[in-house]
């Protein structure tokens, strides 16, 4: 009966059915494809009235500024993702398999954390680890120091630490969901067979959590590659990532062509990572679950 009901609109002719796709397509075109096309045209030099060419790409992609930006972006994204995976896995195992009062509240708080803006963490880190932050003030007072001894926040490490703090919940959420599917009896039987906790984690829990871990990690990588707020807010010296480079070129130097070239590369990188994410999720069964 449901099939019949769904088939009813199908009685309309093929052209009228295709018309339903037009409104959303127009909205998407206006809001997304058109601006993207403008960026691509600018990057190819078409905005200046000349012929389209890859000259700007060749110039920008071989410049030290771009290479440094790409390297910073990848180093920060990969390091932050690795950190998120390790920290997220450890915390999730702790929350899911070591019952303690308030563990369920803590698990729910993770969702709240995901909802917060990313720059809040950078701001709070300034208060804690900054030159005039709580940690440095305390250490200077205790050890009678003239200069703040902890000085990592305004470096690549500060950005990585902030991103790990912000994006770890993105790994934990799917991990906790996958842990909830592990039968406690499996862990008990493993233990009765002589396995110690570390072996249980590595041989039973980790393989079961691998799809969630890979999916969460891919998502983190995608988000950290495009992270802008944290890098800007930390203001780390010589830590220029691709999004920050685009901002610098477009807003501060009015060099739109260079900004657009970098933006196209950034979009390409993001789409590649997004494809990887979809592939990984689908490979581990996400297609069956309707996730991709």
Smallest gap from residue 197 Cβ to other proteins (A): 8
The token pair at 286 is 């996400």
Smallest gap from residue 203 Cβ to other proteins (A): 7
Specify the residue, 78 or 187, whose C-beta has the smaller distance to other proteins: 187
Smallest gap from residue 211 Cβ to other proteins (A): 11
Specify the residue, 131 or 186, whose C-beta has the smaller distance to other proteins: 186
Specify the residue, 25 or 210, whose C-beta has the smaller distance to other proteins: 210
Tell me the angle at which helices 64-97 and 156-179 cross, rounded to the nearest 10 degrees. 40
Specify the residue, 17 or 203, whose C-beta has the smaller distance to other proteins: 203
Smallest gap from residue 82 Cβ to other proteins (A): 23
Among residues 186, 216, 217, 218, which one has the least CA distance to residue 203?
Answer: 186
Smallest gap from residue 184 Cβ to other proteins (A): 9
Tell me, by CB under 8 A, how many residues bind other proteins: 17
Specify the residue, 111 or 183, whose C-beta has the smaller distance to other proteins: 183
Smallest gap from residue 194 Cβ to other proteins (A): 4
DSSP one-letter code for 130: S
Smallest gap from residue 243 Cβ to other proteins (A): 39
Query: Within 13 Å of residue 254, how many CA atoms lie on the same side as its CB?
Result: 0
Per CB under 8 A, contacts with other proteins among 30-59 are none
Specify the residue, 190 or 276, whose C-beta has the smaller distance to other proteins: 190
**39-45: long-range contacts at Cβ-Cβ below 8 A with a sequence spacing of 24 or more?**
39/260, 39/263, 39/264, 39/267, 40/260, 40/264, 42/256, 42/257, 42/260, 43/257, 43/260, 43/261, 43/263, 43/264, 45/257
CB–CB of 243/228 below 8 Å?
Answer: yes
Q: Which stretch binds other proteins (CB under 8 A): 25-33, 49-57, 178-186, 262-270?
A: 178-186
Specify the residue, 137 or 188, whose C-beta has the smaller distance to other proteins: 188
Per CB under 8 A, contacts with other proteins among 117-176 are none
Specify the residue, 4 or 185, whose C-beta has the smaller distance to other proteins: 185
Rounded Cα distance between 208 and 179, Å, is 8
SS (H, E, C) 177-242: HHHCCCCHHHHHHHHHCCCCHHHHHHHHHHHHHHHHHHHHHHHHHHHHHCCCHHHHHHCCCCCCCH
Site string for other proteins, 181-220 (x = CB under 8 A): --x-xx-xxxxxxxxx--x---xx--xx------------
SS (H, E, C) 257-282: HHHHHHHHHHHHHHHHHHHHHHHHHH
Smallest gap from residue 191 Cβ to other proteins (A): 4
Binding interface with other proteins (CB under 8 A): 183, 185-186, 188-196, 199, 203-204, 207-208
């Amino acid at each position: 009966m449901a099939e019949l009901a769904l088939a009813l609109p199908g009685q309309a002719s093929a052209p009228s059915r295709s018309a339903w796709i037009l409104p959303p397509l127009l909205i998407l075109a206006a809001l997304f494809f058109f601006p993207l096309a403008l960026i691509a045209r600018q990057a190819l030099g078409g905005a200046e009235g000349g012929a389209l060419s890859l000259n700007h790409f060749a110039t920008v992609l071989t410049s030290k500024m771009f290479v440094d930006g790409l390297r910073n972006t990848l180093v920060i994204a990969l390091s932050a993702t690795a950190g998120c995976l390790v920290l997220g896995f450890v915390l999730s195992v702790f929350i899911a398999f070591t019952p303690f009062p308030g563990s369920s509240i803590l698990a729910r708080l993770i969702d709240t954390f995901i909802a917060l803006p990313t720059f809040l963490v950078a701001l709070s880190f300034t208060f804690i680890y900054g030159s005039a932050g709580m940690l440095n003030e305390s250490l200077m007072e205790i050890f009678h120091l003239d200069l703040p001894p902890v000085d990592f926040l305004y470096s690549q490490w500060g950005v990585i630490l902030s991103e790990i703090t912000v994006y770890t919940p993105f790994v934990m959420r799917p991990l906790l969901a996958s842990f909830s599917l592990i039968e406690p009896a499996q862990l008990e039987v493993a233990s009765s067979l002589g396995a110690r906790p570390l072996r249980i984690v590595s041989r039973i829990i980790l393989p079961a959590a691998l799809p969630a871990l890979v999916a969460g990690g891919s998502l983190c990588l995608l988000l950290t590659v495009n992270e802008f707020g944290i890098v800007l807010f930390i203001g780390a010296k010589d830590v220029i990532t691709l999004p920050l480079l685009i901002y610098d070129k477009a807003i501060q130097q009015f060099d739109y062509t260079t900004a657009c070239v970098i933006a196209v590369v950034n979009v390409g990188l993001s789409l590649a990572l997004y494809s990887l994410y979809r592939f990984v999720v689908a490979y581990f069964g996400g297609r069956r679950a309707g996730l991709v």
